[in-house]
Structure 1
């Protein structure tokens, strides 16, 4: 047989197989979210274990919800959750953040494995009753969207050293506070897997998608 015909025949046989394998790959989700905040040792070197980077976990806490219940990390076990920091008298970005957070609640209202945790950076004023009123304003379901208050030192430590977000009282002593507009996505293992601008609809769109990606990964592993 003519060598050119042999080559052409080979190409005709191989190409369909390659196309099939390429298209088959579209049926599998290969996208994984990154991990944030690697652990550092005393010399600020990244901690490694079995050749893999060790990533920090959000530490435990014990705070009070809008229902007056004690909430700890244990109450968030086996859930993916979105965290942020607000205060109820905020006239600035907190309203935008809480409005965007209602989108998260509505998207996953039927999924008990997705939670929302909003910490008050003004626990002195944000009592249980005040938090409940604020939660009602945004139709927050306490089974899914938890507002937390408690010891100021614990909340600030958690923000600064747990989520690595800036939070502090304003320098002039007014009721305003310096805090981040970020939403933090935390996985079931308490690792930070996403950081988003909580005032941006586009960025919250990305958050909604990435929650689904995390959930899909867990469902695949459970099969």
Structure 2
């Protein structure tokens, strides 16, 4: 009887193992998101006057935007959409946001801290980053391939992309594909459909 009981228990354990292992493996498999390429290396200063680099975001899925605090056009909408992401992933320590100013002359760490507080940015991995202007423009334009530049003829004096970049835990820019199978590269940071897609894809990266 003891041998039969032992065999029965062993069989149950074996069945559970066969069922459970694929579940565990699946959790850590790569998602179907397209790998655009490695995030450009960067080191900037955040709203708490702390040096933050791309290495500080390793182990986190995070979103990158280029903005400036006095922007009178698209930035307020972009920031509000970032607040949606903060709300969605507030309790996730492996989620983050990098909001990089393109007007570092105005956007000192002190100014960015006041802006973050006014906005309601509370996630501990949401860094508002500033640094040398030429460095930031190069980072935007040739690092992320997102447009940023000065234009005295437009409101606010600066122009920039309204797209968000999504970076995985290993420091790679990732994205989904469109209905034709082409990678979208970046996510629309202005319209709700883009934010909804971003929420779905952040969840995928958090599961990797």
The TM-score normalised by the length of structure 2 is: 0.77
Q: How many residues align?
A: 171
How far apart, in 2, do the equivalents of 1:31 and 1:63 lie? 30
Q: Within 5 Å, which residues of 2 pair with 1:112-123?
A: 112-123=93-104
CA positional deviation for 1:175: 3.8
How far apart, in 2, do the equivalents of 1:125 and 1:136 lie? 17
CA positional deviation for 1:143: 1.4
Q: Give the equivalent residue in structure 1 for 2:46.
A: 65
**Aligned: 1:215 with 2:206:** yes
**Aligned: 1:141 with 2:132:** no
| Unaligned residue ranges in structure 1 (runs of 5+) | 1-27, 37-55, 219-223
Tell me the SS of whatever aligns to 1:96: helix
Q: Within 5 Å, which residues of 2 pair with 1:159-170?
A: 159-170=140-151
How far apart, in 2, do the equivalents of 1:133 and 1:124 lie? 15
Tell me the SS of whatever aligns to 1:101: helix
Does 1 or 2 have the higher relative contact order (CA < 8 Å, sep 6+)?
2
How far apart, in 2, do the equivalents of 1:176 and 1:77 lie? 34
How big is each residue's C-alpha offset from its partner over 1:1-46, in whole Å with a ceiling of 9 and x where there is no partner?
xxxxxxxxxxxxxxxxxxxxxxxxxxx799511122xxxxxxxxxx
CA contact (8 A) 1:57 1:162 kept: no
CA RMSD between the two structures: 1.8
How far apart, in 1, do the equivalents of 2:123 and 2:111 lie? 14
CA contact (8 A) 1:170 1:177 kept: yes
Using the TM superposition, name which of 108-117 and 153-162 deviates more.
153-162
**Aligned: 1:192 with 2:173:** yes
| Unaligned residue ranges in structure 2 (runs of 5+) | 1-25, 176-185
How far apart, in 1, do the equivalents of 2:152 and 2:69 lie? 19
Answer with 1 or 2: which has the greater Rg. Answer: 1
List structure 1 segments (4+ residues) > 3 angstroms apart after TM superposition.
28-31, 171-175
